[in-house]
A and B are shown apart, each in its own frame.
Chain A
Amino acid sequence: DAKTTQPTSMDCAEGRAANLPCNHSTISGNEYVYWYRQIHSQGPQYIIHGLKNNETNEMASLIITEDRKSSTLILPHATLRDTAVYYCIVRPRGGGTSYGKLTFGQGTILTVHP
């Protein structure tokens, strides 16, 4: 699975957009970008994923650069409840030698303040 690099921490004001970057310069053609978050004392929660097109769901938007070497998770109107650790994971969809394994890095600690 490709290695990812994320900032250690970020701050965001409540109601503003939170833009969380992720670098994955060694991503290969069959690897998707997945985002999870972990709110304090809870298990990780799936947010969104994408291959090359931008994606949007009820939680967030995912912008992937044309060369696919980086992506940005956007929480359009951050709330205090969005304070969490956000993980960017890159891996192929299905099969491979590490069946089902998600590799979590350090992630980005996002703090949303009033």
Chain B
Amino acid sequence: DTAVSQTPKYLVTQMGNDKSIKCEQNLGHDTMYWYKQDSKKFLKIMFSYNNKELIINETVPNRFSPKSPDKAHLNLHINSLELGDSAVYFCASSQGDRGGYGYTFGSGTRLTVV
């Protein structure tokens, strides 16, 4: 039973398209996150949601819009995709802010914009 699952695992799309990545966690956690890992392998937080409320927005372009319909889901919608959006996107969850303990990450969505 996958704790944090993301779909799709791979996404290839053309510039200018709009796409969504879905994330679901079955751990009962109340906080969910989106991280981006670029080609240089740096892993950076994009958003965090606690109980469906946006907590962190790390100066991500407006083209990225997270949506949390409930505590178990955090989806990422991206409008007008650009080449620079190509990266691996990881969803994660935790029970509150426990410093760094018990954060669970999904296996990632590799987005390629051509």
Contacts and interface: CB of A to CB of B under 8 A. Distances in A.
Interface stretch (A17-25, A66-74, A75-83, A91-99): A91-99
Interface stretch (B39-47, B65-73, B76-84): B39-47
A96 to B, nearest CB: 7
Contacts of A92: 99
B97 A46 contact: no
Nearest to A43: B105
A91 B100 CA distance: 7
Contacts of A41: 107-108
A32 B99 CA distance: 7
Given A44-B43, A100-B48, A104-B44, A94 B108 contact: no
A34 B42 contact: no
Contact of A104 (B33, B42, B99): B42
B99 A91 contact: yes
Interface in B65-114: 90, 92, 94, 96-108
A4 B71 CA distance: 32
B56 interface: yes
Interface of A: 32, 34, 36, 38, 41-46, 49, 85, 87, 89, 91-96, 98-104, 106
